[in-house]
Structure 1
Amino acid sequence: MTESSLSISFGQAFVAPDRRRHRSSMSVQIPGGSQLSAKGACALISDSTWRNAIAKQAGDLSVRGFLADYYSTPEHWDVKTSAHRVLRALNGWSYSQSAYIEGGSYICSLSAMVFRHREVHLFHMGDTLVFRLRGAEFEQMSRDHVTDLGGYRYPSRALGMDGSLDIDYVTDSLKQGDLFLFTTQAVRGTLLPSDFVQLIRADVSDLDATCERLAEAALSRAQERGYGGDQFCFQLVRIDRLPEEVEPEHPVPLYGDLPVPPELSPGERLDGFEVQAVLSRTAKSRVYRVHDARNEREMVMKAPSPELSLRNAYQEHFALQQWVVQRVNSPFVPKIVETSRPRRYQYYLVDYIKGESLSDWALRHPQASLGARLDLARQLVKAVQALHRRDVLHQSIHPDNLMVDAHGRLVLTDFGACHLRESDSQQAARELARQVGLNEHSAPEYALDTEVGRRSDQYELASTIYWLLTGHQPYALAPNELRSHTDLERMSYTSARRYNPAIASELDDALKRALDPQRALRFRRLGEFAYHLRTPRRNEDGVARQPWQTPATLWKAVAGVLLLLLLLSWWLR
């Protein structure tokens, strides 16, 4: 760190009889270099309810998830934009996953504080506590959002409690020597504000020792008063040095301030990358295959279209694309490539997939077996599931957006229509998909101005798989040709077995349900559809077993016949 950069120190203390079952989590992260200037340092604390069966996982996941995603947001996003996007994405995931957990949930209170330049930003949900000690002034910066039910106090407006998230946001200037205390509701009824000030001011040379004093005092006071104070955590952050107020003479431009690249042709260079081929030119973007001579590596460069150089809204979404892809970890989704080379234009780089589109693959392999096609279908499902786990809608799943490499691995590409699944962004998601362009695989709701979501991706996924297995479309009327809701009645499903008799009736029924024009009638979870894509077990002669031929079903049938014979023998006596 240079002498003019922000410098902070911190200490922590935790009291719990069993660390494996704690319900609170806290962390401080101080990045180095340009990231400290662009994103700042973070301090967090989270706390779940004691009746939560997965309280530890809820607390740990919220802290780790925020830190990982916040520091991967585009550098030109300000603190508020970055934190709000991360928290809403984290809230959506926590809320959706809690529905599948018995006796527990990912609900937790969370206070996240970002120290950047000479300012502090607090993002607060629930009932965790954040105080500031400045001189002799000790004040609470967070608000207690609690609800009394049956004599117990539960956090309200907490992370993962509802599909929408109400975030308290507080920003203030920093002063050298400021001390910030993070703790939980467990401390209520033990220490008074005067106790906090006295214990902290006693000795601030060792912040870990100071937190230990606070924990010991809180535990002692709880035992004296008969409280169940078995879990206390304290975290102290001190501002040791503030950066200079004077801006550098030649500030480095942030990513969002960079110009859109000009039109490029093979052989031309941009930031040291040589263009090998133009992969795509659309109204929205340019996609090039580039070569990095420094490490002899081929990559794909995606940049906004030069015609959109003044469209700030699209450039903002372009930055969101990079962040979305960066958050997803799957072998079926391309990886973002980070380079240390200075960037003079807006673009991002991903791994180059040496292969062909699924459309081209199908043309070159007309005799491919049903098993080979189902293998590609299962990979596609895993790619979409990886996006949905991060609460991302792809919104443009079709054969031309899928690549198959030389080893038969399928990769989902082109995230120009991707959108974070948030309860208040239905219209924005639908409009984005329309701007990118609807096609014969698009879900009907995009053409009819109705609600979109994960089941919309399910439709596009199933439509692409139907085409992969049959070479045809499931409906004579394409969804992108719909003009009103009455047109839905004209959509009559054509059985996949009509085009490919090798398809099992069970799989055909699953395709029909996933492709239902009515969004609410499709599978509730994508995993249910994926179950029907499994490869049927085969006999020694290679013929697929029918359900009654499986061992478990066969023995059940034998047992039923024996039971019937036994009953008949008793009746005939």
Structure 2
Amino acid sequence: MSLQLLLGQSTATGPRERNEDFAGMVTPVGMQLQTKGALIALADGVSGNAGGREAAEMTVRSILSDYYATPDTWEVHSALDKVITAANRWLLAQAAQHKDFAGMASTLSLIVFRGQRFYSAHVGDTRIYRLRHGELQKLTTDHVWERPDMRHVLKRAIGLDQHLSVDYADGALQVGDVYALMSDGVWDVLDQATLHHVMGLYDNPQLICDELTRLAIAQGGHDNATVLAAHVVQLGEETLTDLLAEHRHLRVPPKMKAGDVIDQFEVLSVLHESRASLIYKVRHRITNQLWVLKTLQPLLAEDRDSCQALLNEEWLAKRVVSQYLPQVLPLTAEQRSQLYYVMSWHEGATLQHRLDNGHHFTTAGITGIGIALLRGLGALHRLQILHRDIKPANLHMAMDQRLRILDLGVALSPVTGHIASMDNPGTPSFMAPELFDGAGASVSSDLYAAGVTLYYLLTRKYPYGEIEPFQHPRFGEPVPPTRYRPEIPRWLENILLKAVARQPEHRFETAEEMLLALEIGETRPILPPPRTPLIARARLVKWQWIALVSLMVNFMLLYLLIVS
């Protein structure tokens, strides 16, 4: 689902000799639309000064091009501030170098539409209006002197001052919204009722623009008249940056107990408490439906990385629509007053809890668990999400015997970028060997953790032995699971040993490949993985072994020479 807009643009010179307004728009497609958004901008060169048209045109052109050259990881307002500041410096430099352009300046109003939000920037007396559900709202403030005889004299403009102050704002988009950017040659001539009527009269933004500029000139306007309009047809996918922007004001709630109320939810019990997070079983006070609420420990209220990581987890979980993961309840910023998110409740227990209570997993049961686990991992990997902490404690078996993958707290996606506090996460005994050497997480390391999980559920042992935190282990050959459970069929043992192979290239390449191996089972068993050579197990390269053997031979020859 991508953002869809209908756009319109109209300008009229009117009785003036020259049109000093300039408008532009960029509507990218594909990934650039998702990461940077669509941008519409309007500038009005300051009347009475040389270079007014040039100031307006160069301001808009430079912003339209430079904004899309900024890094995708920058927040929208940060990127806009950089390019607007650069445009302001350029105009000041041109005015200083060319006497004909002395005093050149321009107003500016623009909107970036991205995902499910808009971001605006404004300086001067051009205006931005929004029509929503029949109500017209002016979204900008005119930067002019308040005295009646000076109400057209700008206090702020691009190129007017070395220290530029820009008004930035953002908000949620809604389907059906109509946004209009217009110069003072339109809004100063037409009253609010006329603007309201015309913006609500047409569904086509181009007709809105044409009618407003026509009326402005027809009713005696003495200035250039320019209008840009955008009609929101369909919202795009919510981006993590949008989510962070919408919820940056939320605070971590205090620790709660049964009976406490937070927004629409009543706390029933504490399900889990860790060093970083708190998980509660809650009930919706209106629908009585049960949910799970996750938030942070109050001690982390001022930890920006931890707060961002929780929102990162919520955003990733909302992207995954699968029966193998809990589903997130969509809540707007208006529906929650504190930092948390809510996901579906399923009666049951984690596989670690079952192990701790003496549950015995059969080979047939483990095969079923493995199939469900890999289907869930496949759903994550197809969205380019790496879980990074697969283990029995993060796998939940509901009363209906359906497996679900829990906890995307340390999950990564290329879209979300890297969070410093997430370096090398996970439980050591389930971490792939390459992670201990500083390699990044991958599909292969997720599948390794899945293999160790199935191995552990069957044997209550680890293929390479238990690894303690901060230990840097040496990996030899994995212990065959049949040493602990002789009844395990050979085809299942081969699958587990391939999944936990020390070398990534000897493992399954995708979740789908490992899933297929489990599904066909003994009908088409896979071959056991190749044994790791002694040289590789010892982590010595060949020339080191050759040098060692050569040294031993030389000592032997020297000994024989002395003896003889």
TM tier relative to shorter chain: 0.5 to 0.7
Pair 1:336 & 2:325 matched: no
Pair 1:390 & 2:383 matched: yes
Take 1:521 and 1:262, find their aligned partners in 2: how far apart are those partners?
Answer: 48
Residues 364-403 of structure 1 aligned to structure 2 (within 5 Å): 366-403=359-396
Paired AA for residue 469 in structure 1: L
Q: 1:35-64 CA deviation, whole Å, 9 max, x = no partner? A: xxxxxxx98433xxxxxxxxxxxx5xx58x
Residues 110-509 of structure 1 aligned to structure 2 (within 5 Å): 112-114=37-39, 139=61, 173-174=108-109, 238-239=228-229, 254-339=246-331, 342-362=335-355, 366-421=359-414, 425=418, 428=419, 431-432=421-422, 434=424, 438-478=427-467, 480=469, 482-483=471-472, 487-488=473-474, 490-509=475-494
Match of 1:147 in 2: none
Q: Which has the larger radius of gyration?
A: 2
- Whether contact under 8 Å (1:474, 1:494) holds in the other structure is yes
- Whether contact under 8 Å (1:371, 1:535) holds in the other structure is no
Pick aligned residue for 1:519 from 504, 509, 521: 504
Q: 1:181-240 CA deviation, whole Å, 9 max, x = no partner? A: xxxxxxxxxxxxxxxxxxxxxxx9966799xxxxxxxxxxxxxxxxxxxxxxxxxx9337
Take 2:75 and 2:423, find their aligned partners in 1: how far apart are those partners?
Answer: 28
Take 2:468 and 2:503, find their aligned partners in 1: how far apart are those partners?
Answer: 12
Please state how far the C-alpha of 1:535 moved relative to its aligned partner: 5.0
Match of 2:91 in 1: none
Please state how far the C-alpha of 1:351 moved relative to its aligned partner: 0.5
- Secondary structure of 2:352's partner? helix
Paired AA for residue 256 in structure 2: L
Report the count of equivalent residues.
Answer: 353
- Whether contact under 8 Å (2:361, 2:458) holds in the other structure is no
Take 1:464 and 1:395, find their aligned partners in 2: how far apart are those partners?
Answer: 13
- Whether contact under 8 Å (2:205, 2:229) holds in the other structure is no
- Secondary structure of 1:238's partner? strand
Pair 1:45 & 2:37 matched: no
- After superposition, the Cα gap between the structure-2 partners of 1:343 and 1:477, relative to the gap in structure 1 and judged at 3 Å, is closer
- Secondary structure of 2:325's partner? coil
- Whether contact under 8 Å (1:443, 1:479) holds in the other structure is no
Q: What runs of 5+ residues in structure 2 fail to find an aligned partner?
A: 10-24, 44-54, 85-107, 111-125, 129-198, 209-226, 232-244, 527-564
Take 2:26 and 2:458, find their aligned partners in 1: how far apart are those partners?
Answer: 51
- After superposition, the Cα gap between the structure-2 partners of 1:257 and 1:336, relative to the gap in structure 1 and judged at 3 Å, is same
Take 2:523 and 2:517, find their aligned partners in 1: how far apart are those partners?
Answer: 15
Q: 1:148-205 CA deviation, whole Å, 9 max, x = no partner? A: xxxxxxxxx9x9xxxx999996665426699xxxxxxxxxxxxxxxxxxxxxxxxx99
Match of 2:7 in 1: 10
- After superposition, the Cα gap between the structure-2 partners of 1:448 and 1:477, relative to the gap in structure 1 and judged at 3 Å, is farther
- Secondary structure of 1:400's partner? helix
Q: Percent sequence identity over matched residues?
A: 22
Paired AA for residue 348 in structure 2: G
- Secondary structure of 1:393's partner? coil
Take 2:345 and 2:453, find their aligned partners in 1: how far apart are those partners?
Answer: 23
Take 2:523 and 2:434, find their aligned partners in 1: how far apart are those partners?
Answer: 38
Take 1:177 and 1:238, find their aligned partners in 2: how far apart are those partners?
Answer: 11
Please state how far the C-alpha of 1:409 moved relative to its aligned partner: 0.4
- Whether contact under 8 Å (1:302, 1:348) holds in the other structure is yes
Please state how far the C-alpha of 1:329 moved relative to its aligned partner: 1.3
Please state how far the C-alpha of 1:479 moved relative to its aligned partner: 7.4
Q: 1:504-545 CA deviation, whole Å, 9 max, x = no partner? A: 433323322321233344332222222211153xxxxxxx65
- After superposition, the Cα gap between the structure-2 partners of 1:433 and 1:330, relative to the gap in structure 1 and judged at 3 Å, is farther
- After superposition, the Cα gap between the structure-2 partners of 1:44 and 1:460, relative to the gap in structure 1 and judged at 3 Å, is farther
- Whether contact under 8 Å (1:302, 1:347) holds in the other structure is yes
- Whether contact under 8 Å (1:396, 1:433) holds in the other structure is no
Take 2:302 and 2:59, find their aligned partners in 1: how far apart are those partners?
Answer: 48
Take 2:381 and 2:523, find their aligned partners in 1: how far apart are those partners?
Answer: 33
Please state how far the C-alpha of 1:365 moved relative to its aligned partner: 7.4
Take 1:508 and 1:322, find their aligned partners in 2: how far apart are those partners?
Answer: 36
Please state how far the C-alpha of 1:328 moved relative to its aligned partner: 1.1
Q: What runs of 5+ residues in structure 1 fail to find an aligned partner?
A: 1-7, 13-41, 47-58, 68-82, 85-111, 120-132, 145-156, 179-203, 211-236, 242-252, 537-543, 549-573
Paired AA for residue 313 in structure 1: D
- Secondary structure of 2:248's partner? helix
- Secondary structure of 1:310's partner? coil
Match of 1:245 in 2: none
TM normalised by structure 2 equals: 0.53
TM normalised by structure 1 equals: 0.52
Take 1:137 and 1:339, find their aligned partners in 2: how far apart are those partners?
Answer: 39
- Secondary structure of 1:274's partner? strand
Paired AA for residue 335 in structure 1: Q
Please state how far the C-alpha of 1:360 moved relative to its aligned partner: 2.8
- Secondary structure of 1:278's partner? strand
Please state how far the C-alpha of 1:309 moved relative to its aligned partner: 0.9
Take 1:274 and 1:423, find their aligned partners in 2: how far apart are those partners?
Answer: 32
Match of 1:107 in 2: none
- After superposition, the Cα gap between the structure-2 partners of 1:456 and 1:547, relative to the gap in structure 1 and judged at 3 Å, is closer
Take 1:282 and 1:529, find their aligned partners in 2: how far apart are those partners?
Answer: 32
Take 1:417 and 1:297, find their aligned partners in 2: how far apart are those partners?
Answer: 28
Paired AA for residue 392 in structure 1: I
- Secondary structure of 1:257's partner? coil
Please state how far the C-alpha of 1:272 moved relative to its aligned partner: 3.6
- Secondary structure of 1:280's partner? strand
Please state how far the C-alpha of 1:414 moved relative to its aligned partner: 1.4
Please state how far the C-alpha of 1:310 moved relative to its aligned partner: 1.1
